Structure formats: C-alpha cells, structure tokens
Structure 1
C-alpha cells in the first residue's frame, strides 16, 4: 500500500521547486474536485510506493480563502501519512505560524527549513536542533533551488510515515486559554485520539462553525463551552481567535529567540534595498510599465509574433496544409472528406498550435518574474488601485497579458488565490482587445471612419470601462458578495530562478492549454467548417460553392433579426459575428468571402466600400463594440472552461459577456442614432431604460464594504482603548 505525504507551506517558500525536485517528471496536474485550485500529485523519486501531494500555498489552516479550505479539508479528511512542511529560513517567524498548526493535527511532521544557502549568505544562523526540540518534530536544512538536503528530507518523511509515529505538540498556551482548552477536551473530545484533541479543541475555542458542525456537539455542551470562552475573552479583553493568534506569536517569539541569530538585526537586506526603489510610491508604476513593456514587446510584438506567424503562415499555411491537400487529392479522397480533414481538422489544429509559440514566450517571462519574486511586488503595487472597483491587484497581470492574446491572459488568473476575484478576472479579461481583434478595429476604422486615429484608442477605453464597471457591479451581487478578502501576500527575497524551473513552469501551462483548450477548438472548427461548406442548393443537400447557400448563411438569416436593434440586422454581419467565435480575425475574412473577394488584406481594405454601403457609421461602431465585448474565440472559451472547472460558471461567464455586449451595443446604436439623425423610437426608450438600470447597479450601496469598514473601525477603537 502506497504512503501519502502532504507538502505544505506558505506561498513563495520554495514549495513548487521542492515538489519538482522530489517528483521530477512523475507529476499529475489537475484541479481539486469541484474547485479551481490546482492539484498536483507525483511519485517520489526513489520511492515507488510514496506519493507527494502538493497542497496550495497557505498562511494558516483558518478557512479564509479557498486554498486554506482545500488544504485543511485534505489534511483533516484524508489524513496523510506525513506532512513535509516547507519553511522559508529567511522568514522564520511568519512561516512558523502554519507549522504550529500543522503539528497540532497529530500527523507526523518533518519541517524542512528552506533557503539555508541564503541564510548563510546573509550571515544568519538557525539552530535546527533547538528548533526540532521546541516544535516536537524533526527539522532538516535544505536548499530546494540547489538541491541540497532534499533527499534527506524526503527520506525522513517516508521514515516517519512508515513508522506511523504519533506526535503530540510540545508547546502549550497559557492562562485561561489553556484552562478552557482543557475543559473542552475533557467535555467533548475525550473519546478522540489524544494527538488530535489539541487541534480540535483550539478550533472550538475559535468558534469554528465547520468543526462544531462536524463534531455534532450537543446544544447544552455548546452553551457551557460558549460561557467558558466568553469568560476567557472578558478576562483577556479580546476575541477568542485573536487570543489564540497572539499566544501563537508569543510562543513563536520564544522559539526565534532560542533558535535564530540574525547578523544584521534590524538592518536592511539586499531585497529591502531593491524594494525601496521597485515598490517606491512614485517609481513603482513607471518601473513596472517598463518591465511589462519589455515582456509585451518581446512576447507579442517581436519574438512571439515571429514564431506564431511562422507557425501559421509557413508551417501550416505553406507546408502542412498544401501537402495534406495534395496527398488526399492524389489518392482520390472524396471532396467532402478532403475538406473535413484539411479545412476542419488540420486547420483546427493549426489554429491551436498557432497560438502556442507566443504563449510559451509569455509563460517563460511569467515564470521568471514569479520565481525571482517580482510578480508578488506587482500585485502589491496594483492592489490599491484595483481594489477600488472590486478586483485584486493580481488581476492586472492577466488583463495585461490579454492585450496580446486572451488565452494566456485567462490562464494567468491562476496566480489569484481568492476564488471570487479569480472568477471575476476570468470573466472580464477578454474585454481588453487582443491581437486578433485589431483587424476588426482596422476594418471598421478604415471602412466607416476614414482611418480615424481615435477608433483604436476608444476600443481599448471600452474594454477598460467594461472591466471597471463589471467589477463594481458584480461585487454587489450575491455570487460575488461577501467581506472583502484580505490582501495578504508574501514578498520573498529576490533570487535568480533556475532555467529548469522556468522551462518546467512554461511547459506545464502550455501543455495544459494544448490538451484542454485544443480539443474544444478542434471540435468547434469542424462544426463551423460543416456549416460553411454544406447547405441546400438546387433542391438537394450537399457541399456548396456559394456561401449564400450554406447552413451558416441560413442560420445567419434566421438570427439576423436579433441584431436589428443594434443596427446591423443583415445576415452577412450576423454570420461574420458567428465565425468570429472561432477566431476573431475570421470576421474580416468572412466579410471578404461574403462580398465576393477570395483574398483580403488583414485590415479588409477590399471590402471597405461594400461594408460602408451596408452600415451606417453608428451601426458599424455598434458592431465593433459587440465583437469586442461578446464571448471570445473558441480558444479563449476553452481556457475559460478549463479555469472555471465548472459548467455552470462557464456558461454564466459566456452569457454575461454576450448579454453585456448586446446591451452596450444597443445603447451605442440607439443613442448614437438619436444624436446623429434625431430619430426617436422604442429602441431609444429601451436604451435609456438600460442606461438607468446600469447607473443604479453601479452606484447602489455596497453593504459588504460598509460592514468591512465597521469591523476595521471597531478593531481600531479596541486598540485605542487598550492604549
């Protein structure tokens, strides 16, 4: 029977690096059942019967974030055979808070003090022998980055797991807290194994509702326990959870005093000196802008674009597709089957792989910024701005990346710990115009506005406004409501990441997209190919040469009336919007085919005259806004489905984007027509009603925010009273 070892630690403590070193390529990556938190498992190298489970990076086992809930549920319900706790040796005090909770679970713990090479470089010393004695568990010195001590830590974890040695925490809290915990243990937990009693007693003392429900404590005993806890709170003039937190830090302080010696106590480290510039109030944003410009320029404008263009134009466009076409025709393959394989399957795969080179370059930069410690600083810098409209500072990175391609932008949302913020970021990231939407912008600007320079900037303004307004409105709904999640983030010491870790991270993200999003794109392009290629002509069903006779044209004609209030209720525009779901740049190519042009330039120069004759300027801008805000391409939809990990949330996201796009486009056309021509009708009335509802949703009171402010104020008042 295999043994299971849980890998637990704070974010940015080197846990992922250690996991990669312990498991190598024997990894299984997925999601925890029912949630969007990534689950990693791997077989321990040299131990075929040992499985390492990489828990989400957490600061404590208190259920404030989804990651902490996932980690705690796994430890309580699955009860692994051992816990390998990774501790950042440069931040012992903060990291030991989680350690004190882990040892209370009664599961054998091995504490691996990481970054000991950095500790030694700083001239600091950690007495691991004393630390082991104080914590009541074995302690190992390691450097996950350099691989030192890693094998020893794994071997000791396997040894204690096999021994099934039950360990009882050696530390204790003081005063009435200890008395109350003892009473709870005697009254409620006396039948539970001794090594588990401590943790459950503390959770009861903290009034943890989930634990109370799990233990099914009778009402009369609950009442007695509440009286005991209340008496303790009155005596210590604080709430129960704060009492436990304070006692933990008092205990940790004694450990640090006995086990850790700082060379430059109170002095500034190299990372502190860098942060004085990088996180400076005035320099932080300009430096960040320069860094991200370089990332964007290399990934999207130069290297990434060159590789993507070569993949699309040369590898598939000039080599694979023509070769496959010639080979199938040479063996006498049926026309419909040739079209399916070449235009459907191979072109569908090409549409997926065409994104991959650009994505891999972006992912490499992301991995480097995350590993060196700068990504945490970016989130810290942007949080104050983004929090004003309901998002986290970590939401900025996906949106920035989304200006190149929505797929890696959506996938970058995994760096956001809070589940509500992550879902909202996924839903709004594709509002930013990506590279594939630029041809649509160029088409509308050239055909209807004489190439006016204001069209492109206005498109980005629409996207940014949609994100800000969506954040404000959604945070006031039941699905996203709740106390604002505290923004807690570790600012790790700057260090140079290894090439292997950067490449591994880059490949894991890229391969995840190829496997998951790729299948959806492939199936979707086959469906679109069939609708474009088949239809009824001359009284029979079959392949058609004229797209006007295709099933896609029939579908466009059937749904065109839906878009009449938006000003472009003709089937050609409807079909163009539909084909844009496969890839947004298809919109220009579709117009070219529908207006009789076999080849069109990227900005659709050939169809400018025909398009200008079929739409007014206001209708054209309405068409542009709809395509900017509506459901993204199939590649991005696949990424949304992958990251949401829930069919209902996926359809809600797609539905929200489409409905918002429709309502905004309707307002643009109806109010724009009223201003330009003076036409007034039912559509204009509907537009003003929509605008009024939108303004109400935007400015209605935010009860959760008020509650949060009151809680903070009460804490401040209590602190002042004590002072």
Structure 2
C-alpha cells in the first residue's frame, strides 16, 4: 500500500483535485486530538491511498486543525507528497512547497488553475522549476478536469520517484546554517535521528513552529530546547522566511516566459473594484442574496414545489388510502400512514425544490469566487463586534445547517472568538426553517415572498452580531485573531461542481426526512390520535391539544392563538422541519394549499411574521445542541444557548407584534 499526502494552501483546488483523482472519498473519522474530518481516498484499480490534509499556508500552525498537517508528518507514514499550488499565486504558495521539500520525501508539485495563469499572459518553463526544486512539476486544471488523467497516470507508474528522496536543500545565511548543523549533530547523536529528518526538525524549530516545539518538548530534544533563547535572540524566523522568499522570486524570474498569445485579463480586478468597494460592497451583497431568494421562492423553487405538492397530496395520498382500504387495514394503521407519514413526511418533502435551489445558488456563489469576497466585505462589520471575516464563513455555512457552521468555527485561533462564533451561529437561518417560511409567506405575503424571507435572514445576522458585541464585552475578549483569505479568480461555475455541491448539502435534508422527521411525525400523530381516554374522534381532545392549550398563554404576547401552533413550536425543537410536518398532521392534510388556507384563518399577517421571527431565533434543534456540547466540551454552553435563545426569540417576536399593533398594522 502506497500513501500519498496531499498538501496545499486553501482555495488552490486541492480538494477538487482529490475528488478527481479518487473519484470519490471516504470519511475515515477524525484526526487524533481534533475534530476536523480526515478524508482518505484510493485511486481506482490501484493500491495507492490519497490523504487530503487541511488547507494550510505553512507547516507552522495557527490552530489545532492546521496542526494536523505538521503532526501528520511527525507521526504518520507516507511515501510521496503531492503539493497542489495555485499557478497564478506561486510566490506565496511555494513557501509551503519549500517546507515540504526540506522534509526529504519525494514530491510532485501540481501547478493547478493553470488556466488562470494563461489568462495573465504568463507561462513558466517547467524544466527550470524542476531543476530548482529537485522534484517533478506538472500542470492541471482540476475544475475543468484537464491534466488530471496525466497526473493520475504519473502516480500509477512505478518510476514516478517514490523510491528516491529529494535532494533539495536551501542554503540559509551562515548563522542559520551553522546553528542547524550543530543541532543536527546533537539530534543524531542523542536521539539517533536520520540526518535529513533532524535537519528539517532544526529548521522548523528555529522557525518557531509551535507543533515542532511541542514535539521537541514531548521527546525531550535537548539539542534544540537548550538553544531556544539563542534562536529567538538571533531572529532566525525572519532570516529563514526572507531566504525562502528570495529563492522563490529568483526561481520564478528565471522560469518565467511570456505566453505566445498573451491574454491578459484584469476582469477579476475590475469586478473586485466594484463588489469589494467599501461603499458598494454591502448593497451588492444584499442584492445577490435577494436574487438568490427570488430564484428560491418566486421564480423556480416554489412553482416546482406546487407541482410536487399536488402530486403527493393527490394521487399518492389517495392511492395509498385506497390500497390500504382494499387490503383491509385497520383505521388506526390507515390513519397513521395517510394522515401521519404521508401528510407529515410528504408535507416536508414538497419543499425539496426550494431547498435544493437555495443550495444550488450557494454552490454557484462558492464556485464563482464571490463567497470569498462576501467574507472580505463583511470583515469590517465583523470587526466592529470583536470578530473578523473568518467568523463570517461559519455563519454562511450555517445558512445550510447550523451543525457544520459551528464545526467550521474551529478555524478561529482565539478561544473566546471561537466560543462567541459558536454561540451566535444558531441564529443563522438554516435550511430546515425554509419549509416553515414557505408555508407562511405563501399564506400571508404571496406578493413579497423573497423580500420577507430575506428580511428574516438579515434579522438573524443582526441579532447574531449584536450578541457578539455583548459577548465580547462580557468575556473581555482582547486577543484578536487575524483574517487572511485567498481571493480566487472569478470562474464560470462548472455544472458538475454545482451539482456535487448541491447534492452534498441537500442529501442531509432527505436523510432527515427518512429518520428524524419520520420519527417525529409518528410521535406527533400518536399524540394527536390519543387522549387521556384512549383514541379520540376529535383532535381537540388529544394529548397534543391538552399540551398546546396549557402552554398557549406563554405565546399570546406575539399573537399566537391556536394550540396547534404551540404544538408545532414544541416539536420543532427536535428538528425545525418537523414544525411543518406537525401542522400537516394536526390538520390531517398533505396538501400545502389546504394548509395555507387553514393558517390564514389562525393568524393575522403581523402575527404570522412575529411567529416566523420566533421560529428563526428560538431553541436550537437537538443536533445543534449536541454539536455545541461537543465543540465546547461542557453542557454549560448548550444549556445557556437553549435558555437565552428562547427568551431572545420571545422578546423580539413580542416587540415586533406589539410594535406593529401600536403602528396600526
């Protein structure tokens, strides 16, 4: 078995290349000591395993997740490095390449996004690069699947260089070189290390690599530890960086050629002058998201949902009822399947077109390169509340699902900033809330569906940012992490990548429909079918009605007057999608149109909007509560999140409703 370690900076197309090489990948649990997922795949019809490491800028980690790459080098076996670099950003990307080459293993450098380099009118002589870096250099365009097969063939060949270590060795200033050689002698003598590995350890230690310093302390490498004050006083870190940068600049200058037909395009720069403009950036961001919701609700998603709704509530429901009757099924079983499962689960599945449309739009924004600009635009706003643009990434991911959004906060260096981001992430309006929004905007705001939904998304962002500011003051968070993000060139989104991203995000919703929503639907149906005296003919005598009426006074302040809405709120704690299925079950219908008509009799438009505000902000679902516990390592913060979010939701929903009444709405 041969293992290839895949390294690269963020946004170099590393994971896209990984997926191309392995066709698919398998999640093999988490890396030791951290919760970031380990991705391992195999090249088809071979014994070659590819390990996709987290995107990093250097082997000197800023976070525990970034330390995965360095710890992997220190503790795991690997035969070859595949280093993916952005061909149009070589000066920065090759800094990591030098660190990897110094490790001594054979390596292939893949100049990815080679199309972007051609657009700049630049070409590099690969022979010059190979001679300078003492390794193989190839070109790819993973997005367009160009050069990938050639790279795969190269990896499958027996003579691709896995058997021979690289002899690359950068010449550092005399003081650094002498200190390194002295450390190597001590490491080889005291710890019996291989000379090449000892040299890499010495250079990384002098470069103040936190993971290597920890490794040295753990293994009591006195040859390094005794010299630490001297290395710091000599500022070896700056000298090492400058030497590497000078070498890269000289090498690129020697290898650079002008393309035969220059196609210099400054399109990316021209677009960025507009979309990242301090004044225009935020309004453009709002317009982009408005367009996204127009597509989701007004133009594409809802019309398809209406067709699916008619199919599920008509032929599917009536056919199931007919077949069960013909089979002699008991009324109990027939009601469970038709009024429970089909009405509940089917009532949620009708919103799949809207959910997939939203995810498709997000995938387009990601693949085109705009999402990185959105983070940059919002960096100034985030900084005013004590965070930065890096915290925006988890919040954006939270629009799909709060669980991976909270997990994405691991990339934030400072613990307090990471905790703040974790606590505010549940206020992002996840896709699970879309079915509820769709029902209510169809019933009360049919002409302004996209605007109403957009207002809820932005309300969630505003609440999250205000809370972040409060938490910053309460936690006395003074240490700040820095924000650095790669701005890739703009691309025309690739259909295959859009589909892969959309399906990857949306399949979780289908999985929920078959598990959590199904289970929740059965529980809801049982509570509505039975009462204290057994099976009830009238749902108003059921356990659901009793519980709902008991708690109803709590929600009177924002216009809720029906126990059915209270029951839906309670079951929504399990998973927000269950709110829709609860209403479908309680009203014994899988037809969205009929449910919309029923809702219009129970709420005023003001009460409906206030109800949506409450649904947006109140208690996170079970999965989100669980991941908050997993990420913080204590039940204190999940419990706090449950209590605080309920009262914040109740307060704001009440303010909207009572304020609207005062204004005569």
Partner of residue 289, structure 1: 286
SS at match of 2:84: strand
Where structure 1 has 5 or more consecutive residues not aligned to the other structure, the ranges are 234-239, 446-453, 677-723
Partner of residue 169, structure 1: 168
* 2:310 corresponds to which of 307, 314, 326: 314
Cα 1:262/1:10, change in 2 over 3 Å: farther
**Number of residue equivalences:** 637
**Superposition CA RMSD, Å:** 4.5
Give the Å deviation of 1:229: 1.0
Per-residue Cα deviation, 1:36-73 (whole angstroms, up to 9, x for no partner): 645433321342x2222222322222211454223333
Instruction: Give the whole-Å Cα distance in 1 for the aligned partners of 2:490 and 2:225.
Output: 51
Partner of residue 436, structure 1: 436
Cα 1:587/1:471, change in 2 over 3 Å: farther
Give the Å deviation of 1:591: 8.9
Tell me if the contact between 1:440 and 1:603 (Cα under 8 Å) persists in the aligned partners: no
SS at match of 1:56: coil
Instruction: Give the whole-Å Cα distance in 1 for the aligned partners of 2:610 and 2:116.
Output: 57
Partner of residue 232, structure 1: 234
Which aligned pairs between 1:33-72 and structure 2 lie closer than 5 A? 33=31, 37-47=36-46, 49-72=47-70
Partner of residue 693, structure 1: none
Partner of residue 241, structure 2: 245
Structure 1, 666-675 or 425-434: larger mean CA deviation: 666-675
Which aligned pairs between 1:105-120 and structure 2 lie closer than 5 A? 105-120=103-118
SS at match of 1:188: helix
Instruction: Give the whole-Å Cα distance in 2 for the aligned partners of 1:674 and 1:599.
Output: 29
Instruction: Give the whole-Å Cα distance in 2 for the aligned partners of 1:666 and 1:412.
Output: 24
Give the Å deviation of 1:577: 2.5
Tell me if the contact between 1:8 and 1:54 (Cα under 8 Å) persists in the aligned partners: yes
Tell me if the contact between 2:372 and 2:487 (Cα under 8 Å) persists in the aligned partners: yes
* 2:532 corresponds to which of 517, 531, 536: 536
Which aligned pairs between 1:224-623 and structure 2 lie closer than 5 A? 224-233=226-235, 240-261=236-257, 269-311=266-308, 313-393=309-389, 407=400, 418-419=411-412, 420=418, 423-424=422-423, 426-430=425-429, 436-437=436-437, 463-475=460-472, 483-515=479-511, 518-537=514-533, 541=534, 543-556=535-548, 574-581=566-573, 582-585=577-580, 601-602=596-597, 604-607=599-602
Instruction: Give the whole-Å Cα distance in 1 for the aligned partners of 2:502 and 2:453.
Output: 32
SS at match of 1:252: helix
Instruction: Give the whole-Å Cα distance in 2 for the aligned partners of 1:444 and 1:496.
Output: 37
Give the Å deviation of 1:657: 4.7
Instruction: Give the whole-Å Cα distance in 2 for the aligned partners of 1:97 and 1:523.
Output: 52
Cα 1:464/1:21, change in 2 over 3 Å: closer
Q: State TM-score, norm by structure 1.
A: 0.75
Partner of residue 93, structure 2: 95
**Residues 1:630 and 2:627 are matched in the alignment:** no
Give the Å deviation of 1:172: 3.1
* 1:660 corresponds to which of 634, 644, 653: 644
Instruction: Give the whole-Å Cα distance in 1 for the aligned partners of 2:165 and 2:499.
Output: 40
Cα 1:220/1:565, change in 2 over 3 Å: farther
Structure 1, 214-223 or 150-159: larger mean CA deviation: 214-223
Instruction: Give the whole-Å Cα distance in 2 for the aligned partners of 1:499 and 1:441.
Output: 31
Where structure 2 has 5 or more consecutive residues not aligned to the other structure, the ranges are 413-417, 446-450, 661-665
Structure 1, 491-500 or 571-580: larger mean CA deviation: 571-580
SS at match of 1:53: strand
Which aligned pairs between 1:690-709 and structure 2 lie closer than 5 A? none
Give the Å deviation of 1:95: 1.0
Instruction: Give the whole-Å Cα distance in 1 for the aligned partners of 2:93 and 2:60.
Output: 14
Cα 1:220/1:590, change in 2 over 3 Å: same
Tell me if the contact between 2:429 and 2:457 (Cα under 8 Å) persists in the aligned partners: no
Instruction: Give the whole-Å Cα distance in 1 for the aligned partners of 2:658 and 2:11.
Output: 55
Give the Å deviation of 1:219: 8.8
* 1:73 corresponds to which of 58, 71, 74: 71
Partner of residue 448, structure 2: none
Cα 1:599/1:370, change in 2 over 3 Å: closer
Cα 1:649/1:252, change in 2 over 3 Å: same
Instruction: Give the whole-Å Cα distance in 2 for the aligned partners of 1:346 and 1:670.
Output: 34
Per-residue Cα deviation, 1:142-192 (whole angstroms, up to 9, x for no partner): 232343332332333344788443334322322322222223222235522
Cα 1:422/1:518, change in 2 over 3 Å: farther
SS at match of 2:82: strand
Per-residue Cα deviation, 1:195-247 (whole angstroms, up to 9, x for no partner): 322332233223444433333354965662123213413xxxxxx44443333
SS at match of 2:490: coil
